[in-house]
């Protein structure tokens, strides 16, 4: 069986949720239960430094497995392939065009039997036509369907992608992202060094990791929540690890800083423009906090389930989240944290303290969910069952 893995920038450094999803999928490919089904895997993605990609594969998987991988050699990153003076609004379209060209070159001649989608549904032009203008303009609808029809089965990492494929009445299965529970594990000890100055004196330690946008980090709820905790006699601190990706998020970043100064929360809400790439950094951060905040107000551009929440749960960090998407259902059903149907400052503050007061119990439940449903071994077992049923091997 041949596989094509499709995703935006899913090669090292692993500096995004999509990249982490891809890393977990590559780990799954090398599992003995799965690798026996695969003749080779084509990885179609954007990357700048081919040497870093090959270095990672050689060190992570070994030469024997590495030979099963084919990394697309052309620059698919618009920022690298096209002149830097290109209009920023055009770059994503040009990058998508390059990805479409790669698909045309690799998929059709080799008649691959499986397409493995990684990333967000809006990044797949043939699933959301309105987001795929370049694709539609340059390739006919017949060609697009021909690409999809060449795949015997489509495997989706995200439930949103899975449902998008199913709407097209195409055969598809859903395999959740695989978490390396051996790496992402609970660890007791001191707070990671670069966080000490911010959270060492706090008795309520909250972590947010994700994009700095109102839909994912609703400051109108978060600021009053912190004030309620302070008024109740606690010393809360929320560390938000994020990046400023565009003009909109830069404006939001400045707006949040103004609110922090206005309400005197300089020691309670800390914005760190930092992306954790190394797994050891992530594990250390997850083990330095009491609660993970994940508060999407809609499902816009949301990986479902989100890899960050799964990694945190694997480290025994229980989440407080909204009930949007699969993660809210999982957290609620298995008592691995708290999922809010109607988030607000009062209920959020109350839920955070409830998690902290039951931290040991919820940590064990969160860890158990990962071990039984999202560990590499659990997902590999599920993949083996699916592939055995389809191909009878």
Per-domain boundaries in the chain: 2-178+375-391, 193-373
Contact 338, 323 (CB under 8 A): no
CB burial string 164-203: b at 16+ within 10 A, e below: bbeeeebebbbbbbbbbbeebbeeeeebbeebeebbeebe
Cα 196–chain centre separation: 26
User: Which pLDDT does position 382 carry in this prediction?
Assistant: 92
Question: Which positions ≥6 away from 261 have C-beta within 8 Å?
Answer: none
Residues 2 and 116: their CA atoms lie apart, in Å, by 10
Question: Which positions ≥6 away from 236 have C-beta within 8 Å?
Answer: 202, 203, 204, 205, 206, 226, 229, 230, 268
User: Which pLDDT does position 185 carry in this prediction?
Assistant: 94
* Same fold? 2-178+375-391, 193-373: yes
Q: Which residue has the tokens 């609970």?
A: 186
How does DSSP classify residue 341?
A: S
Sign of CA dihedral 69, 82, 211, 158: negative
- φ, ψ dihedrals at 28, nearest 5°: -65, -40
67: three-class secondary structure by DSSP: coil
Residues 284 and 346: their CA atoms lie apart, in Å, by 30
193-373 folds as: Rossmann fold (3.40.50)
User: Which pLDDT does position 3 carry in this prediction?
Assistant: 66
Residues 333 and 271: their CA atoms lie apart, in Å, by 32
Q: What angle do CA 160, 47, 376 make, to 5 degrees?
A: 50
Contact 339, 328 (CB under 8 A): yes
pLDDT tens-digit profile, the chain (393 residues): 666 666 555 555 555 666 677 677 777 877 888 878 776 666 555 444 445 555 555 555 544 444 444 444 343 333 333 333 334 454 445 445 555 555 555 554 454 556 665 554 444 444 333 333 333 233 333 444 444 455 556 777 777 777 777 776 767 788 888 899 999 999 876 667 777 767 778 899 999 998 888 889 999 999 999 999 999 999 999 999 987 777 888 899 999 999 999 999 999 999 988 877 678 888 999 999 999 999 988 866 566 788 889 999 999 999 999 988 888 888 988 889 999 998 999 999 999 999 999 999 999 999 999 999 999 999 999 989 988 887 665
2-178+375-391 folds as: Rossmann fold (3.40.50)
Residues 280 and 291: their CA atoms lie apart, in Å, by 19
CA distance from start to end of the chain:
11
User: Which pLDDT does position 110 carry in this prediction?
Assistant: 52
The DSSP string of 182-249 is: TTS----SSPPGGGHHHHTT-SEEEEEES--STTTS-HHHHHHHHHHHHHTT--EEEEEEE---SHHH
């Amino acid at each position: 069986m041949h596989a094509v893995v499709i995703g935006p920038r899913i090669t090292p450094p692993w500096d995004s949720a999509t990249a982490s999803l891809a890393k977990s999928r590559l780990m799954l490919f090398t599992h003995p239960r799965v690798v026996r089904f695969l003749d080779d895997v084509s990885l179609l993605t954007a990357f700048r430094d081919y040497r870093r990609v090959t270095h990672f594969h050689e060190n992570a998987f070994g030469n024997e497995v590495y030979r099963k991988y084919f990394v697309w050699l052309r620059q698919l990153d618009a920022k690298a392939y096209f002149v830097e003076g290109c209009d920023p609004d055009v770059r994503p379209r040009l990058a998508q065009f390059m990805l479409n060209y790669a698909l045309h070159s690799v998929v059709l001649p080799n008649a691959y039997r499986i397409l493995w989608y990684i990333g967000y549904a809006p990044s797949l032009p043939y699933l959301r036509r309105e987001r795929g203008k370049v694709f539609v303009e340059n390739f006919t609808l017949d060609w697009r369907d021909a690409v999809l029809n060449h795949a015997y089965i489509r495997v989706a990492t995200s439930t949103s992608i899975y449902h998008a494929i199913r709407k097209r009445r195409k055969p598809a299965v859903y395999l959740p992202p695989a978490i390396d529970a051996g790496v992402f594990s609970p660890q007791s000890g001191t707070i990671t060094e670069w966080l000490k100055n911010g959270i060492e004196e706090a008795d309520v330690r909250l972590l947010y990791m994700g994009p700095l946008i109102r839909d994912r980090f609703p400051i109108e709820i978060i600021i009053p929540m912190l004030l309620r905790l302070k008024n109740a006699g606690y010393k809360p601190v929320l560390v938000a690890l994020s990046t400023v990706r565009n003009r909109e998020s830069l404006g939001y970043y400045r707006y949040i800083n103004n609110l922090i100064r206005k309400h005197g929360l300089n020691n309670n809400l800390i914005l760190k423009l930092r992306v954790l790439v190394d797994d050891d950094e992530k594990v250390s951060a997850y083990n330095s906090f009491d609660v993970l905040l994940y508060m999407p107000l809609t499902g816009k551009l949301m990986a479902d389930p989100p890899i960050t929440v799964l990694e945190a749960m694997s480290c025994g960090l229980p989440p407080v989240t909204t009930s949007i998407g699969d993660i809210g259902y999982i957290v609620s059903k298995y008592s691995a944290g708290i999922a809010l149907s109607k988030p607000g400052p009062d209920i959020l503050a109350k839920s955070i303290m409830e998690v902290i007061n039951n931290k040991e119990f919820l940590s064990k439940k969160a860890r158990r969910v990962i071990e039984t449903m999202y560990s590499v071994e659990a997902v590999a077992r599920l993949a083996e069952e699916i592939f055995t049923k389809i191909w009878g091997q």
